[in-house]
Chains A and B, each alone.
Chain A
Amino acid sequence: MTSTETFYEKLKKWLDSFITGSGYTSITTGYITGELQFLLFIIVLSVFFRLFSIPLAIILLIFTTVFALYFSPVIKDVEKENMNDLNRVLYWMVIYFAIIIAITLWGG
């Protein structure tokens, strides 16, 4: 169980992680908005599973929300994964391609 104090501490730490370091104020707003956007995006994506089964979607929704809050802030990782590094782009392309082929070939 999480007490109010620790949750507050957590939130404070989370906000601090933007402001300290190399961040400056104009970019901080961007990062915080980005973080919230990403959170919402994940939640909306998990809602999508209602197409297959509604209970699954509810469980998934709760799990993703908890996980996303637990692992936050994730925006730095999102930024890192979207860097223009060639190997990284190649890696993601291979993953996407494999998913597309797997879904269409064995799902369809």
Chain B
Amino acid sequence: MIESISNLWSIPLLVIIPMLTAIIVNFLYDKAIKPIAISSAIVILIISIISPYGYHWFCGHPALNPETLTFTFNPNIFGYKLSLEFIFGPLQHIMIFISSLILLFCVILSTIGLTKHQGPYIALLFLLFMSSAIVIMVNDLYHLWIAVEIGSLIVVGVAAASGTSISHKAALKYGLFSAISGAGLAVSLALILGLTGFANISDAIMYLKQFNIGEMSTVLYIAFGFFVLSWMYAGGLAPIHPLKSEVYGASYPHATTLLQAQSKLMLVAIGIIMLRLFGMLPFVKEVMIFLSVITMMIGVIMALIQIDFRWIIAYLIISHSGFVTLGIGLGTYEGLIGGIFQAVNDIIYMTILLLCCEALFYFGGKTSTKEAYGIAKKSPFIATATILGAIAASGIPPFNGFQSEIILIQACLKEGFPEIAVLILMVSVTTFIALLRGIYRIFLKPPELQSYDDSNVDLPKVLIIGIIIFIVLSIIIGIYPDIVLRFIIPVVKEVLSI
């Protein structure tokens, strides 16, 4: 239950601690970064676990009750909020917990595996976490826009950090498009502000419900169009998927874990906001479903024809984003549960695959499927983990992917869309084919004799621990899905106001 306090202690810390850490490590540049970054990531993880639920009204201005014209600091009494509202509820709890877990591994892996001068890079990782935490917690249109804007800028930085020409190109292209989608979101929120007069999302929805907007729905439709633009951009839906997958593929795999978590969080957060703001208009849900279906299929088809394991995973991330948005687009009870649950599961199993991909860098960084490397013989653990990750991603029980995909399929059948259910099955199967192509070439197929090198490779223990933790999480959620669903169901009930 969300408590009735408007000054919850944990919300500002979840935003300010990453920001201050980023400032400090960026200034220090290469000295003493490791202890500061790791301890800060641990603190964030602990806060995300122990935090109670509630609201935070930044800058401490009260809400104005329109009937009595009195000010109140009690979030349970309805009033138009003067301050900027953040919510920490069950959805935020589970999402931020998983992101901060990934942040911790991401920071440790980058301090171990990368060359010196990592200050700016680790600063960007912390800011990436901050932007995704803000997007999922914020209940204010204007702040949402800023968070999406800063988020896309940070993605550009993370992609460019490896300094290769391909990552520079990916970063530049993605950065150019941020101008279009950021401006689109700004236009959209300007239209909603003009229509309702409220930047707070709950207040704007309350206004739309109270007053019949009639012929002004044109304005709302255009606002929806621009909103979708930024949704596509932030989550990498079609037609922006070539740019987003390029960013995923060109960044280091450990950074991609955080990048994909951020984009899933953005998809869920912006998707729910869209459903709440525009859900009552006809054709809105259909547009969202249409985009999701296209993304699902194009993503998986593109994954099939890639010749690099990193790019296969990159396109699969895109394709599976389509599942998330499909669930949200359906807008039903089962659909929303399936969509949000899929986002959580997706973050977990893609993290397994990406961490295995990171391990390949310790074997010489060869991820192309053109040649065979026979890595299964050198490290049976990584090979097994990758195959388990592939099984989880393709929705085979007892892993977590199965649980959310079955909910999504049921939701589609219940809504009368058996075709979409067929497509979900197709994508699941094809995910397995696409991954197995890469796995076979890289791990299983014996290498050519002359290119075989027998040297031993020491993988960092953190990497192995991380892979094991995420596999265990995947199995636990797969066997006992209620562990996550109990966070999601109250949120869905609230969104649909059941």
Chain A residues contacting B222 (CB-CB under 8 Å) are 101, 105
Question: Is B422's CB within 8 Å of the partner chain A?
Answer: yes
Distance between A64 CB and nearest chain B CB, rounded to angstroms: 13
- Chain A residue at minimal CB-CB distance from B176: A86
Distance between B181 CB and nearest chain A CB, rounded to angstroms: 9
Chain A residues contacting B430 (CB-CB under 8 Å) are 33, 37
Chain B residues contacting A88 (CB-CB under 8 Å) are 242
Distance between A36 CB and nearest chain B CB, rounded to angstroms: 10
Tell whether, in the assembled complex, residue A105 and residue B221 are in contact, meaning their CB atoms are under 8 Å apart: yes
Interface of chain B residues 481 through 495 with chain A (CB within 8 A): none
Distance between A50 CB and nearest chain B CB, rounded to angstroms: 9
Question: Is B241's CB within 8 Å of the partner chain A?
Answer: yes
B contact patch SS: helix
Q: A26's contact among B170, B297, B300, B370, by CB below 8 Å, is which?
A: B370
Tell whether, in the assembled complex, residue A105 and residue B423 are in contact, meaning their CB atoms are under 8 Å apart: no
Tell whether, in the assembled complex, residue A104 and residue B224 are in contact, meaning their CB atoms are under 8 Å apart: yes
Convert A61-90 into 0s and 1s, putting 1 for each residue whose CB lies closer than 8 angstroms to a CB of B: 000000000000001001100111110110
Question: Is A47's CB within 8 Å of the partner chain B?
Answer: yes
How far, in whole Å, are A79 and B229 apart by their CA atoms in the complex? 23
Question: Is B283's CB within 8 Å of the partner chain A?
Answer: yes
Convert A8-44 into 0s and 1s, putting 1 for each residue whose CB lies closer than 8 angstroms to a CB of B: 0000000000000000101101110110011011001
How far, in whole Å, are A79 and B311 apart by their CA atoms in the complex? 14
Chain A residues contacting B304 (CB-CB under 8 Å) are 30-31, 33-34, 37
- Chain A residue at minimal CB-CB distance from B306: A30
Distance between A90 CB and nearest chain B CB, rounded to angstroms: 8
Question: Is B38's CB within 8 Å of the partner chain A?
Answer: no
Interface size class of A (residues with CB under 8 A): 35 or more
| One of B15-23, B433-441, B458-466 at the interface | B433-441
- Chain B residue at minimal CB-CB distance from A91: B239
How far, in whole Å, are A108 and B283 apart by their CA atoms in the complex? 6
Chain B residues contacting A84 (CB-CB under 8 Å) are 170, 173, 242-243, 246
Convert B118-136 into 0s and 1s, putting 1 for each residue whose CB lies closer than 8 angstroms to a CB of A: 0000000000000000000
How far, in whole Å, are A77 and B256 apart by their CA atoms in the complex? 28
Tell whether, in the assembled complex, residue B221 and residue A34 are in contact, meaning their CB atoms are under 8 Å apart: no
How far, in whole Å, are A104 and B238 apart by their CA atoms in the complex? 18
Convert B150-176 into 0s and 1s, putting 1 for each residue whose CB lies closer than 8 angstroms to a CB of A: 000000000000000000001001001
Distance between B338 CB and nearest chain A CB, rounded to angstroms: 19
Question: Is A103's CB within 8 Å of the partner chain B?
Answer: yes
Tell whether, in the assembled complex, residue B242 and residue A100 are in contact, meaning their CB atoms are under 8 Å apart: no
Distance between A24 CB and nearest chain B CB, rounded to angstroms: 7
- Chain A residue at minimal CB-CB distance from B296: A41
Interface of chain B residues 161 through 207 with chain A (CB within 8 A): 170, 173, 176-177, 180
Q: A26-B369, A38-B301, A75-B305 are in contact. Are A105 and B218 (CB under 8 A)?
A: yes
Tell whether, in the assembled complex, residue A37 and residue B307 are in contact, meaning their CB atoms are under 8 Å apart: no
Chain A residues contacting B274 (CB-CB under 8 Å) are none
Tell whether, in the assembled complex, residue B242 and residue A24 are in contact, meaning their CB atoms are under 8 Å apart: no
Interface of chain B residues 283 through 301 with chain A (CB within 8 A): 283-284, 286-287, 291, 293, 297-298, 300-301
Chain B residues contacting A34 (CB-CB under 8 Å) are 301-302, 304-305
How far, in whole Å, are A104 and B240 apart by their CA atoms in the complex? 21
Of the listed residues A38, A47, A108, the one surrounded by the most CB atoms of chain B closer than 10 A to its CB is: A108
How far, in whole Å, are A27 and B438 apart by their CA atoms in the complex? 10
Question: Is B426's CB within 8 Å of the partner chain A?
Answer: yes
How far, in whole Å, are A93 and B300 apart by their CA atoms in the complex? 20
How far, in whole Å, are A47 and B300 apart by their CA atoms in the complex? 20
Tell whether, in the assembled complex, residue A78 and residue B301 are in contact, meaning their CB atoms are under 8 Å apart: yes
Chain A residues contacting B291 (CB-CB under 8 Å) are 96
- Chain A residue at minimal CB-CB distance from B369: A26
Question: Is B2's CB within 8 Å of the partner chain A?
Answer: no
Distance between B483 CB and nearest chain A CB, rounded to angstroms: 34
Chain A residues contacting B282 (CB-CB under 8 Å) are 107-108
Tell whether, in the assembled complex, residue A27 and residue B301 are in contact, meaning their CB atoms are under 8 Å apart: no
Tell whether, in the assembled complex, residue B305 and residue A27 are in contact, meaning their CB atoms are under 8 Å apart: yes
How far, in whole Å, are A89 and B240 apart by their CA atoms in the complex? 6
Interface of chain B residues 233 through 292 with chain A (CB within 8 A): 238-243, 246, 281-284, 286-287, 291
Residues on B lying within 8 angstroms of A by beta carbon are 170, 173, 176-177, 180, 217-218, 221-222, 224-225, 228-229, 232, 238-243, 246, 281-284, 286-287, 291, 293, 297-298, 300-302, 304-307, 369-370, 419, 422-423, 426, 430, 433-434, 437, 441
| Contact sample, A vs B, 22 pairs, CB 8 Å cutoff | A26-B369, A33-B430, A33-B433, A34-B305, A41-B297, A41-B301, A44-B422, A44-B423, A45-B419, A78-B301, A82-B241, A82-B302, A84-B242, A86-B173, A96-B232, A96-B238, A97-B225, A97-B228, A104-B221, A104-B224, A104-B283, A104-B287
3 tightest Cβ-Cβ pairs between the two chains A and B: A92-B239, A84-B242, A34-B304
Q: With A34-B305, A41-B426, A96-B239 given, can you name 4 additional A-B contacts, CB distance below 8 Å? A: A26-B441, A30-B304, A37-B297, A89-B177
